[in-house]
Amino acid sequence: MLQNFIKNMWLPLKPYYTEVYQEIWVGMGLMGFIVYKLHAAGTFLYAGLKLMGSNNPPVLASQSRESQHLGQLGKFEQDFNIRELRL
Amino acid sequence: MNQNLFASFNMPMILGIPLVALFILFPTMLIMPSNNLNNNRSSSIQQWLIQLMLKQMMTNHTIKGRTWSLMLLTLITFITLNNLLGVMPYAFTPTTQLSLNLGMAIPLWMATVLMGLRFKTKATLAHLLPQGTPIPLIPMLIIIETISLFIQPVALAVRLTANITAGHLLMHLLGDTTLILLSTYLSSSVITVIVIILLITLELGVALIQAYVFTLLVSLYLHNNS
């Protein structure tokens, strides 16, 4: 599989990754640094709020239990909360 | 039925694992590369579209700029297919997430600026001062041009996010309105259904246009710096 990957993917695109896209790698490094800083700031803020004794530290919307009727469902339905389609 | 207006913008998860990678990779299944000279209809249409986009975008570029053809074609295809994913009901649209759009805009913009500084340093720095500027205004104008340069990736990302998000919000709002009106004023709900159909047509157009605008602007920054 690795040999196929090298033959079909890496060898044809090697000039792009090594020569053409050099500046894009730098940009991706900057983007990664920004993402790291934002994540670290969020973690720091969350830890600070918990330390100060906040009972309800903020939670990301994607991580929250969304609404009341979710709480009435079983654990199985809560875990499979991809969408709620009422058919 | 979604619980609230913004439920479709939340990351879908199974057992706490975000499914965003699946949603982003799903459009790759629709693009079928082929080594045959004569392909089936769908592959032929895809190849014709790719050639059309290539000619449209890359004609005015230098040799150095044309090395970015693959990147720009991939960009427009990726954004178009992700935007069109969202026109389906209840679908999650990856391009409504500012994180994704910034993740595309910042590296590409930075790459064009670095390319300009590396290969055409004097010309790139000269772009910070428009020709014919009065001497007293020079310091202020350089500051303004620098700020507008640094705002470019943010504008790119926010433009795409806001356009796609706004359209989806409108569709959700009108859909909820229609559902409520169905049980009360049936004739008004017919009007809202017609508006929704028109809005979906508009959303299709916006999806295609915003992908084109994003790629065109990246291509313009590349052209200015290569």
- Cβ B13–A62 below 8 Å, yes or no? yes
Tell me the pTM. Answer: 0.82
What is the pLDDT, as a whole number, of residue A69? 52
Assign residue B90 a region (left: φ > 0; alpha: ψ between -120 and 50; beta: otherwise).
left
CB-nearest partner of A26 from B16, B71, B110: B110
- Cβ A23–B90 below 8 Å, yes or no? no
CB-nearest partner of B19 from A35, A82, A86: A82
pLDDT tens-digit profile, chain A (87 residues): 889 888 888 888 899 999 889 999 999 999 999 999 988 888 877 777 777 776 665 655 455 555 545 555 555 555 555 544 443
Q: Which residues of B touch A20 (CB under 8 A)?
A: 67-68
CA atoms within 13 A on the CB side of B4: 11
Residue whose pair of structure tokens reads 């983007």 in the numeric block:
A31
- Cβ B110–A86 below 8 Å, yes or no? no
pLDDT digits 0-9 by tens, B35-65? 788 888 888 998 899 999 999 888 889 888 8
Task: Give the C-alpha separation, B48 to B211, whole Å.
Answer: 18
Query: What distance in Å separates residue A10's CA from the closest CA in chain B?
Result: 15
Q: Which residues of A touch B68 (CB under 8 A)?
A: 20
Task: Give the C-alpha separation, B185 to B158, whole Å.
Answer: 38
Cβ contacts from A onto B, under 8 A? 73
Query: What distance in Å separates residue B103's CA from the closest CA in chain A?
Result: 7
Task: Give the C-alpha separation, A23 to B78, whole Å.
Answer: 21
* Average confidence score pLDDT of chain B: 88
- Cβ B10–A66 below 8 Å, yes or no? yes
What is the pLDDT, as a whole number, of residue A74? 54
What is the pLDDT, as a whole number, of residue B15? 78
What is the pLDDT, as a whole number, of residue B131? 83
pLDDT digits 0-9 by tens, B74-106? 999 999 999 998 888 878 888 999 999 999 999
What is the pLDDT, as a whole number, of residue A27? 93
Higher pLDDT, A85 or B14: B14
- Cβ A79–B2 below 8 Å, yes or no? no
What is the pLDDT, as a whole number, of residue B28? 82
- Cβ A23–B103 below 8 Å, yes or no? no
What is the pLDDT, as a whole number, of residue A84? 46
Window 10-39 of A: residues touching B by CB (8 A cutoff) are 16, 20-21, 23-24, 26-28, 30-31, 34-35
What is the pLDDT, as a whole number, of residue A54? 63
What is the pLDDT, as a whole number, of residue A42? 81
What is the pLDDT, as a whole number, of residue B144? 92
pLDDT digits 0-9 by tens, B196-217? 999 999 999 999 999 999 999 9
Higher pLDDT, A86 or B174: B174
User: Is the pLDDT score of B24 beyond 60?
Assistant: yes
Contact status of A55 with chain B (Cβ, < 8 Å): no
Asked casually if ipTM beats, i.e. exceeds, 0.85, the reply is no
Query: What distance in Å separates residue A20's CA from the closest CA in chain B?
Result: 7
Q: Is the Cβ–Cβ distance between B215 and B79 less than 8 Å? A: yes
Quick one: pLDDT band at residue B25, thresholds 50, 70, 90? confident
What is the pLDDT, as a whole number, of residue B39? 83
- Cβ A23–B11 below 8 Å, yes or no? no
